[in-house]
Amino acid sequence: MSGKSYPLGATFVDGGVNFSVYSKNARKVELLLYDHIDDDQPARVVALDDKANLTRRYWHVFVPGIEAGQLYGYRAYGAFDPEVGDRFDPDKVLVDPYGKAVAVPEGYDRNDAISDGRNDRTAMKSVVVNLSEYDWEDDEPLQRAFSHTVIYEMHVGGFTRHPNSGVPEDHRGTFKGVIDKIPYLQQLGVTAVELLPVFQFDKQDAPGDRENYWGYSPISFFAPHWDYASGTHPTAAIDEFRDMVKALHKVGIEVILDVVYNHTCEGDGKGPTQSFKGLDNQVYYILNDDGQYMNYSGCGNTLNANASVVRRMIMDSLRYWVTEMHVDGFRFDLAAILTRDSKGRPMVSPPLLWDIETDPVLSGTKLIAEAWDAAGLYQVGSFFGDHWKEWNGRFRDDVRAFIRGDNDTVKSIAPRFLASPDLYGDDAREPERSINFVTSHDGFTVNDLVSYNHKHNYANGENNRDGHSHTLSWNCGVEGPTDDPAIEQLRNQQVKNLLTITLISLGVPMILMGDEVRRTQQGNNNAYCQDNEISWFDWSLVKKHGDVLRFVAGLIKLRLSLNMYQDNRGRTLQDMLRNATFNWHGVKLGEPDWSETSHTIAFELRGPSGIFMIIFNAYWEQLEFELPRLDGGLTWKRVVDTSLESPHDISSFDDAKTIYQPFYAARARSIVLLSASIAAISPNAYD
């Protein structure tokens, strides 16, 4: 039967399944049906006739009797003429761009999709899925306000893959493993997990015998990653992913996906033919006039995201993950690429971003842009639209430099604390536009940021050439691990300093998996191909660095439950900033030191909900800071002092120690947070 062009992918209809795939330039397309994942040839080949099965470049067919779990793929016939952009290879099994699940044989071999000859036995294959059978139990995306959000960037596999994770062995490194560790996430207090890519990716897209661990190498934009399922059924990853989302939602934790719509795992002209390249290379990728790949992603190719068909695919993918998988938001990898046209030129008004910005399905989701790309396009502070938030790379760099003790950093740290008004100006968007972080998957962990002066990436097999060299790190006196208690105490304090600024600054805080227990990657700042203990969460650190875990959990609780920057009438952070009073200080009241050699700044935030005094002393000696006088016999209370040992480094407001002196002695390289009732402030406090 001829079938229909819509919907794309494999869709159940009465008595069977409708298959539809797009190819503008193919001369012939075949649907391949397999009985087993590692079969040498398909059990059935359905030839699509260019008259009965082709409607305006959509190849489609209805196949009766197909059931859920059926394995399938495509062959596409056409010209192989790289100079004009055509790379058809009918020997290669092609994954359906709209397939909802992908099965991977044990003998999968990426090289077989590169070399001559057929690759049926070792190719990934799409799976027919019936999405209607899952019971969501009234679950819906949570739509939590950004002002009440604390993000935890984590890797599904690495979170529980370590043998000491304490989860059942068959759950390690899977969606089920995340469910097992939900009590830990609750203890920490985060409100959202931002998962490194969970779309099906090619593990073999890595140098030598290493594996692609991070997952920034997608082959499908609809299928959850096969290896993150504990079950072996071809559709297990879908249900287990949905179980994870539902379980996280039940405890109030949102799920944000790190999505890669800028390139695929097919690489450049020397890469494999696995899906898009074999279906219509000219349509899916940005090519130059000689048919070669434009590499704005740094990964060999660049998806032609603003081409109409590709744009529709991305939009359908986003809607799918919201409507069918109930995710709460997306972080867009190298999002600046999504502003480029088919020639690679940045556009002022890119169609794809307009589509995302105005789509009603996506209107309640979190949209976060990594507002740069690998070709130097940098749009932090100027990314398109009203709905987007941005990873603030300036926050990361300026905070690192200040805490390290660099000169000429005080002028930079002040705006970073206030949600970077120098970047975002008087934009009508709330200050939560800035996603604040000092570490992420890409770069040092916070422990390594205070333990290494230089990257140590030799295990990656690229002679330490990969990864950023501008780390803005400081080893506190010794490169790498040490038994020196003084250095360890200083490192602990610097870790707390970095995380304190992240978690109390205006904007949206994001912390990296394991930073709360000083997880190390042994100085590797580009561990994308290290699926081993270099990257995994070592759960023994929960006990070893329980003091840091307690401190971070306390900071998160303070931020969320005490609403430092909001009043009890529910006004937005923007309203609070308009109605608050900021007084900048140095060691003396009203005398901030903005000079190049200054390493200290303090400020007082006075608003309807209370008053706070925050002292940043990045200097290497103790300094005494004058405090505003208080009326009515009331005094300041010390909530945070990063120089103190646990449990004195952080307290609840009710349990905070009262400070009776008119000054506070801030120890070397420390951050202090004091609080008081606004009603207690003397109108003549600075006289």
Tell me the catalytic residues: 333, 370
Give 18's DSSP letter.
E
Residue 195 pairs in a beta bridge with: 154, 257
Q: How far apart are CA 513 and CA 517, in angstroms?
A: 9
Residue 238 pairs in a beta bridge with: none
Which residue matches tokens 């409100």? Answer: 191
Q: How far apart are CA 32 and CA 94, in angstroms?
A: 9
Asked if residues 110 and 212 have their Cβ atoms less than 8 Å apart, the reply is: no
CA-CA-CA-CA torsion sign (654, 657, 662, 666)? negative
As separate numbers, helices (DSSP H) first and strands (DSSP E) second, the chain gives 15, 27
Cα dist. 275→37, 87, 383, 529 in Å? 17, 11, 31, 23
Closest C-alpha among 346, 411, 428, 407 to residue 379: 346
Read off φ and ψ for residue 475, nearest 5 degrees. Answer: -85, 0
Residue 509 pairs in a beta bridge with: 436
Closest C-alpha among 245, 254, 315, 179 to residue 508: 254
β pairing state of 71-77 and 125-127: antiparallel
Cα 279 to chain center, whole Å?
Answer: 30
CA-CA-CA-CA torsion sign (211, 215, 220, 226)? positive
Q: How far apart are CA 30 and CA 45, in angstroms?
A: 7
Asked if residues 175 and 183 have their Cβ atoms less than 8 Å apart, the reply is: no
Return the number of other C-beta atoms located less than 10 Å from residue 266's C-beta: 29
Tokens representing residue 377 in the block = 């396009």
